[in-house]
Structure 1
Amino acid sequence: MDRNDFFNNGIEEKVRNFESLLASGDNFFFDTDELEEIIDYYLDFDEFVKANKAIKYGLSIYPFEIFYQLKLAEVAIARKDIKKAIKILEAAKAVEPNNAEIAKTLGDCYSITMQHKRATDCYLFALNQGLDKEEMYLRLARIHYLINNPRKAMSYINSIPSDYVFDEFALQEFIKLFFDFAQYKQALAFLKKVLDEDPYNYSAWYFKGLTFQKIEDYKNAISAFEFCIAIDENNTMGHLGKGNSLMELKNYEDAINSFKLSLDNDVSDAEVLCNIAECFENMENYSSSKYYYLRAIKTDKYLSDAYFGLAMIYKKQNKLRDAEKNLQKAIDLDSFESIYHIELAEVYLLIENKDRCFFHYQQAYDIDPDTTEIVLDYAHAYFDFKDTEKAIELLESHLDNYNDDFRISYRIASYLFTLGRYENGYNYLHSALQQKPTEYFLLYEYAPFLENMENVTNIIDLYTQRTND
C-alpha cells in the first residue's frame, strides 16, 4: 500500500501526534478506532517496533480489550514468530472463547505450522459463529487441498451461495487457491458459476483468460480477454493478457498492438515494453527491438530483463563487448538468475576468456544445480577450450545427480571416442542406448566422425531394432 493512501485518509496527523506523545508525553487521547488506524499503518509498512508501542499504549488505556491481543498476534505473525502468536491467541481465547476473529487468526497460525486438524477446527468454529462465510470457505478449501482431499475442498467452495457477488479481491483469492494446487479445470468451473450470475464481471473474465493461459489454451484465453476489453476497453489488463496470449501463438504483430494498448504511462510499462521488444526480436527486427529495450530501461533502470534482452540483440549482431556490458548490468541487478550467467559465459567462450567463462558457468550451476543443460554447457566449454579430459571429469562427477538423464552418457561417450578411449566410450554408449536408444544422434552431434565407424553404427542398430520390434 502506498503511504499516500493513508495520508489521504488523514492518518499522517494521527501518527505524528502519537509519535509526539511517545517522545514528549504530550497529552493526546486516542480512541480504539484511531489506535487501530495507527497500528495498521505501522503493520502495513513493517514498522513492528512502533506497532508494538501503539498496542501497548492501547492496552494501558483499555486493558480488557481483546482487540489489542489480536494485534499483538498479528505483529508476531508478521515477524514469523508463529509460536508466540499461538500463545497470545490461546490466552485471548481463554478470556473470550466465542470470539470468531480469535478462532480465525488461530486457524491461520495452525495452518502455517501444518497443524491441519486444529486449523480446520478453528475455521469451522469461526464459520459457525457467523464470521465472513466466503472467507472461511476459502480457508477450509485450502486446508483440504493441502491434505489431498480435493473433493472436500470443492464442497466448501460450492457452498458459497450462487448469488454471491465476488469483487476483484475475493476472486483473486479463490483463483490463487486453484492455481496453487494446479486445479485449472475446477477454476474454470468456478468462474463459469460466477459469470452465469454476473456476466459482466470484468475480473472473472480476466481470471478466466489467465486460467486458459495456464493450460496453454491461448485461443480461448484471447476470447476471454476480448470479453474484458468489451466490458471496459480502458482497463489495460485485458489488453495485456491478450497480448501475452498472441505472443505465445507467435502472432507477434497483433501482440505488439495489444501490448501498446496496455501501456499505463508509469513504471509498470517497462515490462510491457520488454514484451514488445521481444516480439520484434522474434520477428528479427532488431533495430525496433533494441529501441523498445532501451525505452524499457529508460522507464525502469532497475529492470534486469531489459538489459538481458538488449544483450541478446547485441549477441545476435556479434557485438560481443556490448553484449558483455549489458549482461553484466543484468547480473548486477539480479545475480540469482542463472540464464544471465549462462549467456555471459557463452559470450566469454566466444571471446576466448576462459577464466571468466568457467566462473559464470560455475555461478549458474551454483544457482540452479538441478538443471542438466547447465552441466552439459559447462562441460562443452572445457571441450571447446581443448580440455576434453576436464569436460569428461566434470560430467562423470555429476552422474549420480543426473543418472536418469541419457544426455550425460551420450556426451561422455562422444568425448571419450574423440580422445580415442574406445573401451570406455563403448561402455557409456551402451548405457545411453539402454536409457534412450532413439536419441542416438546426440552421439554424432559432438563426434560426427562416428557415423562412419561400423562398430558404433552396428551397436546403435542393435538397440534401435529392439525398440522397433
Structure 2
Amino acid sequence: MQFSSNEDYNLPLAKFESMLKTNNVFFFDSTDFEQITTHYLDEGKVTKAKKAIQLGLEQHPTSPELKLLQIEILIFENKLDLAERLLNEVQELQPGNEEIYIQRANILSKQDKHLQAIAMLKKALAIDNEMSGDIYSMIGMEYLFIDNYSEAKNFFIKSLKEDYLDYASLYNLVYCFEYLEEYSGCIYFLNDYLELNPYCEVAWHQLGKQYWNKKMFKEALSAYDFAIISDDSFIGAYLEKGKVLEKLKRYNEAIENYEYTLELDDPTSFAYLRIGKCHEKLGNYELARQFYYKTVHEDPLLDKGWIAITDFYYRNNNFQKALYYINKAISIDEENVLYWKRSAEINKQLSLYEEADIAYQKTVELGNYELETWVSWADILTHLGEYNSAIITLLQGLEFHPESSELEYRLASLYYLEHDDIKGQYHLLNALRHNYEGYEYISKLFPSIYCRPSVKNFITNFKKAS
C-alpha cells in the first residue's frame, strides 16, 4: 500500500524517517513495516527499503509478508540462491500463500526459465483470483520474453479486463498487436476499451497510431483530437496530430500543433524539423531554413536535421552550401551511410568525380547496397575512365541485384569498350532477357557501342528470336 497525503498513513513513514536520523529505535506494527518498505521500493530507494526490512524482521521475525519483501529485494539484487532458501522457509509457514509462487516465478524468469515461470504464475492464479490482473500481466510478460506474441496478447487482454487502468498492460498489448500486424484487431479492441474508459488519452493516442498504420488519416486525426481533449498537455498527441495534418497537406495547422509542443515543454529537434518541412512545403523558404538550423542546434547528432539542411540547399541548386553542410555532418558522424550517399550525389553535381567515387565507396562499405548506389558509382568510375574498376563494381552490384538490366547493359558496354566481345555479348543477352526496351541505356550512355553494327544486329536478332 502506498502512503497517501492522509496524516494517519504518513505518520509511520515520518516516524521511521525520524528514527533513521536520530538512531532511536521505535516499535512498529508489522503492517507499518510492510507499507514503509513498499513505499521505498516504489520510490526506488532500495537501501532504505532494506533497512526497513532489517528492523522489521528484528521486531517481527516470523512475519511472512516481511520475509517475502526481503525475498523480492534479494531477487532484484540477483541473490537467487538465498532468495530460494528463504522462500522454502516461508512456504513451510504459509504453503497457500500465492506470493510464494509469484516470487518463485520471478526467480525462474531471471534464470530464463520462462515456461516454468508461467507454470508458477498459473499456480498463484489458482490460489488467489483477487490478484488475477497483476498475474495475467506477469504471464503476458513471460510470453513476450519467449517471443510468443499471440499468447502474450491474450493474457494482456485478460489483465485489462480485470484492471482497465493498467496502462503498462495496455502498451504491451498494443505492441503485441503491432508485432503481429493485427492493426484491425487492435483498432477493434481499443474502441471497445474506450467504451469503458472514454477519457483515456493513452488509448486514444494508440488508436490514432493504428489508424495511421492503415492510412486512415481522417480517423487518426479524430483519435488524436480526443487524446488532446482527454489531456490538453499530451505532447505526443500534438506531435502525431501534426504528422497526420502534414499527410493531409494542412501544413499551417500542422505547424500550430508542433509549435504548441514547444510551449508545453522543452523544444525538441523533431518538432523543429517538422515545422521546417511544413514551411518548405508552403514556400516559406527562409523560415524553413531557420527551423532546420534550430533542429541541428537542438540535437547536433540528429542525421535527419543535417540531411534536411543539405537537401534544402541541394533543391535550391546551391551545391556548394549543400557540400559544406554534408561535410560538417560527416565530421560529426563518419559512420552515417546517409551522409556519405548525399555527399556522393552532391560531389557528382559539382563534377568532383574523384570525391564522389570515394563517397560511393564509403557508402557501400557502410552497408548501402541499393541498386541506385551501384549504378551511380559505376557511372562515376566510367566517367573517370576507370573501366576495370567500374566492371568490378557492377559485378558486385549483380550479387545483390541479379536481375538488374541497368547493371547488365552497363557491363555489356564496358566489356565491349575493353574489347572483350564474348563477355559483352553474354551480359547484353542477360540484359535483353531482363528488359528488352532497356537497350536505350546503351544508346544514351555508350553511343559509340550502340552504333556498332554487331551490337545492333545482336539486339535485332534477339527481338526476332523472341
TM-score by length of 2: 0.72
What's the CA shift string for 1:155-193, capped at 9, x where partnerless?
Answer: 434434647433544422322232233332332122122
Indicate whether 1:209 and 2:208 are aligned: yes
Whether the 8 Å contact between 2:157 and 2:173 is mirrored in structure 1 is no
Indicate whether 1:124 and 2:122 are aligned: yes
- Measured in 1, the distance between the counterparts of 2:464 and 2:127 equals 72
What's the CA shift string for 1:378-410, capped at 9, x where partnerless?
Answer: 434323433232122023135444446665445
Whether the 8 Å contact between 1:206 and 1:238 is mirrored in structure 2 is yes
1:199 maps to amino acid: P
Whether the 8 Å contact between 2:108 and 2:117 is mirrored in structure 1 is yes
Report what 2:269 is aligned to.
Answer: 270
CA distance 1:34–1:253, shift in 2 (3 Å): same
Secondary structure of the equivalent of 1:368?
coil
1:389 maps to amino acid: N
Report what 1:102 is aligned to.
Answer: 103
Structure 1 stretch displaced more, 99-108 or 452-461 = 452-461
Report what 1:71 is aligned to.
Answer: 73
- Measured in 1, the distance between the counterparts of 2:251 and 2:422 equals 51
Counterparts of 1:92-241 in structure 2 under 5 Å? 93-96=87-90, 99-106=100-107, 108-109=109-110, 113=112, 115-130=113-128, 132-141=131-140, 152-160=151-159, 162=161, 164-166=163-165, 168-241=167-240
Whether the 8 Å contact between 1:311 and 1:327 is mirrored in structure 2 is yes
Whether the 8 Å contact between 1:414 and 1:446 is mirrored in structure 2 is no
Structure 1 stretch displaced more, 168-177 or 59-68 = 59-68
1:269 maps to amino acid: T
- Measured in 2, the distance between the counterparts of 1:93 and 1:431 equals 71
- Measured in 1, the distance between the counterparts of 2:36 and 2:443 equals 72
Report what 1:47 is aligned to.
Answer: none
- Measured in 2, the distance between the counterparts of 1:378 and 1:222 equals 43
- Measured in 2, the distance between the counterparts of 1:462 and 1:105 equals 73
1:121 maps to amino acid: A
What's the CA shift string for 1:37-88, capped at 9, x where partnerless?
Answer: 7777779xxxxxxx7x889878876698454454354355xxxxxxxx7666
| TM-superposed deviation, 1:117 | 2.6
| TM-superposed deviation, 1:221 | 1.7
2:106 maps to amino acid: T
Whether the 8 Å contact between 1:414 and 1:425 is mirrored in structure 2 is yes
Indicate whether 1:311 and 2:313 are aligned: no
Whether the 8 Å contact between 2:398 and 2:407 is mirrored in structure 1 is yes
Report what 1:245 is aligned to.
Answer: 244
Mind listing any 5+ residue stretches in structure 1 that lack a counterpart? 1-8, 10-16, 44-50, 77-84
Counterparts of 1:367-406 in structure 2 under 5 Å? 367-369=366-368, 371-403=370-402
| TM-superposed deviation, 1:244 | 0.8
CA distance 1:163–1:90, shift in 2 (3 Å): closer
CA distance 1:161–1:411, shift in 2 (3 Å): same
Whether the 8 Å contact between 2:347 and 2:355 is mirrored in structure 1 is yes
TM-score by length of 1: 0.71
- Measured in 2, the distance between the counterparts of 1:332 and 1:378 equals 22
Report what 2:342 is aligned to.
Answer: 343
- Measured in 2, the distance between the counterparts of 1:241 and 1:208 equals 11
Indicate whether 1:255 and 2:254 are aligned: yes
Percent identity between the two aligned chains: 19
What's the CA shift string for 1:327-363, capped at 9, x where partnerless?
Answer: 2343444444321221123233344555654444344
Counterparts of 1:6-45 in structure 2 under 5 Å? none
CA distance 1:104–1:179, shift in 2 (3 Å): farther
What's the CA shift string for 1:405-450, capped at 9, x where partnerless?
Answer: 665445534544565655323423443555x548847845973748
Structure 1 stretch displaced more, 27-36 or 322-331 = 27-36
Secondary structure of the equivalent of 1:263?
helix
- Measured in 2, the distance between the counterparts of 1:40 and 1:460 equals 77
Report what 2:445 is aligned to.
Answer: 447
- Measured in 1, the distance between the counterparts of 2:120 and 2:406 equals 51
- Measured in 2, the distance between the counterparts of 1:425 and 1:39 equals 74
CA distance 1:66–1:157, shift in 2 (3 Å): closer
Secondary structure of the equivalent of 2:385?
coil
- Measured in 2, the distance between the counterparts of 1:273 and 1:354 equals 34
What's the CA shift string for 1:80-131, capped at 9, x where partnerless?
Answer: xxxxx76666555545565244244235435xx4x55334324434444548
- Measured in 2, the distance between the counterparts of 1:226 and 1:418 equals 63
Whether the 8 Å contact between 1:418 and 1:447 is mirrored in structure 2 is no
1:118 maps to amino acid: Q
What is the number of residues matched between the two proteins? 426
- Measured in 1, the distance between the counterparts of 2:385 and 2:342 equals 20
Whether the 8 Å contact between 1:138 and 1:156 is mirrored in structure 2 is yes
Structure 1 stretch displaced more, 266-275 or 438-447 = 438-447
1:280 maps to amino acid: H
- Measured in 1, the distance between the counterparts of 2:337 and 2:50 equals 47
1:237 maps to amino acid: G
Whether the 8 Å contact between 1:107 and 1:120 is mirrored in structure 2 is no
Secondary structure of the equivalent of 2:189?
helix
- Measured in 2, the distance between the counterparts of 1:388 and 1:322 equals 31
Whether the 8 Å contact between 1:361 and 1:374 is mirrored in structure 2 is yes
- Measured in 2, the distance between the counterparts of 1:324 and 1:42 equals 49
Structure 1 stretch displaced more, 194-203 or 445-454 = 445-454
1:156 maps to amino acid: F
CA distance 1:28–1:330, shift in 2 (3 Å): farther
| TM-superposed deviation, 1:324 | 3.0
- Measured in 2, the distance between the counterparts of 1:202 and 1:395 equals 53
